A = this chain, B = another copy of it.
């Protein structure tokens, strides 16, 4: 089967591509070609199938980005939260019109492809006290979340019409993200583990009992691959899936780190930041996520396993990135 990854140069797109290259298959099917599309042509990778790398604008999606007979599209191309908040036009263009362009490309295919779309917890609101059921209303408090929720509606409708076959995954905050701290309000959620594991000091802008809804890069990748190969019939009209992340306090996350690598927790210094706390305080930290396991989405591992995953898979790359 032929597969395209839109946003194939991003962190998760790369993880999905690497998993496909390592397995040579998606579910029970052999992969016969992979196209990686991003704003700039992504770097290629060694794989047991041909890999094509293309650069371009998602809103004027070149036909080569989704070749004829493509059966699976990972639509991960997005302007993320801080950027969509800073530049309304850019966010709307990429996150909404880009999704329209993907829908139109699917309509041109002979057979409706599976489209795995990454939506986000940022499409919900509720805050620390909320426990969101699987059918919770999406009432975002940021443009990124609004655009993601609107794109979900368009993809669900396009599925109902038979243009494509969408699975919309509302990914939790990903931790531990490899690489560098960034300006996102959520940056600290990875930094409080990643920086100490690199032997570096960092700060905690919220209280230790502040809860977050997180998932490791490995589980996020596994969920995207499952969404690409699962039977979509049980979804019915509801194409949205809240995968089973973990609701954890930042204190518990640091405790897990300390248990795996003693001495690291002392590298985190409290530095309350009201601005950061106000933004992340609006994000729900707890989801029922009871539908996803029944659909075959793997239950998340422990916080200690999340730390171990970083040490095993992302520590060296992150260290190398820092040294460059």
Residues on A close to B: CB < 8 A? 88, 92, 96, 100, 125, 135-143, 146-147, 149-150, 153-154, 156-157, 160-161, 237-238
Chain B residues with CB under 8 Å of A156's CB are 139, 146
Chain B residues with CB under 8 Å of A147's CB are 153, 157
Q: How many copies does the complex hold?
A: 2
Verify B157–A153 contact, CB threshold 8 A. no
Chain B residues with CB under 8 Å of A125's CB are 237
Chain B residues with CB under 8 Å of A138's CB are 137, 153
Verify B140–A153 contact, CB threshold 8 A. yes
Known contacts: A146-B157, A154-B146, A156-B146. The answer to whether A137 contacts B137 by CB under 8 A is yes
Verify B137–A157 contact, CB threshold 8 A. no
Chain B residues with CB under 8 Å of A140's CB are 153, 157
14 A-B interface contacts by CB (under 8 A): A88-B161, A92-B100, A92-B154, A96-B154, A135-B137, A139-B156, A139-B238, A141-B160, A142-B157, A146-B153, A146-B156, A147-B157, A150-B150, A150-B153
Q: Which residue of B lies closest to A89 (CB)?
A: B104
Q: Which residue of B lies closest to A150 (CB)?
A: B150
| Residue from B141, B150, B157, B161 within 8 A of A154 (CB atoms) | B150
Q: Which residue of B lies closest to A240 (CB)?
A: B139
Question: Nearest chain B CB to A59's CB is how many angstroms away?
Answer: 12
Q: How far is the CA of A160 from the CA of B142 in the complex (A)?
A: 8
Chain B residues with CB under 8 Å of A146's CB are 153-154, 156-157
Question: Nearest chain B CB to A256's CB is how many angstroms away?
Answer: 34
Q: Which 9 A-B pairs have the closest CB atoms?
A: A146-B157, A150-B150, A137-B137, A150-B153, A146-B153, A135-B137, A143-B157, A149-B153, A141-B237
Q: How far is the CA of A260 from the CA of B108 in the complex (A)?
A: 55
Q: How far is the CA of A198 from the CA of B224 in the complex (A)?
A: 59
Q: Which residue of B lies closest to A135 (CB)?
A: B137
Chain B residues with CB under 8 Å of A149's CB are 150, 153
Chain B residues with CB under 8 Å of A92's CB are 100, 154
Question: Nearest chain B CB to A122's CB is how many angstroms away?
Answer: 12
Q: How far is the CA of A9 from the CA of B15 in the complex (A)?
A: 53
